[in-house]
Amino acid sequence: MDQSPDPVAALCAQLQVLRVCAPEEAERLVAGARQGSDIGAELSRLLLRLDMAVVSDTDRSAPVGPAMIGGFGRHAVHEHFRCPAERCSRVQARRPAAPAPVCHLEGVPMRLTRS
């Protein structure tokens, strides 16, 4: 299926790798994203060149749902990390004992939200 993820979210999620593999392009994309320009095409070209998949690790699912652990009546509080600057649509489910993911665009930890 042709699911086009938010390019800014994809950049945010993969920036660490991109900064190592293609530092110049990575910084250009960051500058573009900060200015609000459309970085989709350039990002996919770069990922293609580096043989990387176009994924945003956006994950809206709860890691362990009540149905999966069979715990009916348990409180399923869905905690998600979101982009602190709300610059991108990256969302990551909170994983037990895992440190807060970092928004690589802003260089700060992502914000924990509950729903």
Binding site for Zn ion (CB under 5 A): 12, 83, 88, 90, 103, 105
Nearest to 56 by CA among 77, 74, 83: 83
d(CA 102, CA 108): 6
* CB closer to Zn ion, 46 vs 92: 92
* CB closer to Zn ion, 43 vs 83: 83
| CA 28-33-36 angle, 5° bins | 130
CB 70 within 8 A of CB 88: no
Shortest CB 46 distance to Zn ion, Å? 18
Indicate the residue type of 78: H
Shortest CB 103 distance to Zn ion, Å? 3
* CB closer to Zn ion, 32 vs 74: 32
Shortest CB 112 distance to Zn ion, Å? 14
Shortest CB 114 distance to Zn ion, Å? 19
* CB closer to Zn ion, 39 vs 105: 105
Residues contacting 113, CB < 8 A, separation 6+: 79, 80, 81, 82
